Amino acid sequence: RVPLHLPAPPDTRRAPGSGGHSTLRVPSPPMLRHPLALQRALRPLKRRVAAPAGHVLDEAATAHRIAELGARPDQWLPVLRPAPERWLRLNLVYDTGPTMPVWRPLIGELRAAVAQSGIFRTVTVHRAGPDGRVHHHGTPAPADGRTVTLVVSDAMGPQWRPGPAGDRWYGQLRRWAARMPLAVAQPLPEHLWRTTALPTTPGLLKA
């Protein structure tokens, strides 16, 4: 939030009995400028699969069975099918390094956008410290091909540099990448990426 107040008058001497100004706090502009565009871009990931546990009534199949059996049986057994559930889980990991506090509002907005998109079965948030350690909330996601990890970081912290913190951090990234799709969301403008510990390399991707 940004504090606002009226500028002081030219004569700053207050008349007897006059009151001072009041601070007005208004919401700051959103850092995630196009959340709907992000949600639309994620739509290809919106799939439903059969849940490993739980069933629901298949009304059409049950009605068809009743029509075929007619009045002969004393009881009709319903037809059940596996309950559908969303395909993917999301691990949202945000950097807590010394240069990241300014991006905390963006992380909150990003979490809200992906949670409200209806794409992911669950959205779990984890903190990555500058010492290279990740503070997990809840149990780790199973390596079943249905979890993706998104790391939000400006790649400026000590865990991105050579050293003990970097060894721990890159080891964690390798473990994630071996188990699930992994991506890094860089909040800095593109022209600053080359100044970080994770510069980009141009390439061509073919499907």
Yes or no: say if 89 and 141 are a contact pair by the CB < 8 Å rule.
Answer: yes
> Measured in whole angstroms, how far is the alpha carbon of residue 168 from the centre of its chain?
23
Model confidence pTM above 0.85: no
pLDDT for 137 equals: 67
Short-list 171, 166, 175, 168, CA closest to 197: 166
**Which residues are 81's β-sheet partners?**
56
pLDDT for 113 equals: 96
pLDDT for 174 equals: 95
Q: What is the mean pLDDT, run by run of 10 residues, along the chain of 207 residues? A: 62 55 76 93 88 82 81 76 86 95 95 94 94 78 79 96 95 93 94 90 78
Kindly state the tokens that stand for 48: 């439903």
Query: Which residues make up the CATH 3.40.50 domain(s) of the chain?
Result: 85-195
pLDDT for 8 equals: 64
Give the separation between CA 40 and CA 50, rounded to whole angstroms.
24
Yes or no: say if 166 and 132 are a contact pair by the CB < 8 Å rule.
Answer: yes
Tell me the three state secondary structure of residue 4.
strand
Tell me the three state secondary structure of residue 3.
strand
Which CATH number is associated with domain 85-195?
3.40.50
Give the separation between CA 165 and CA 162, rounded to whole angstroms.
8
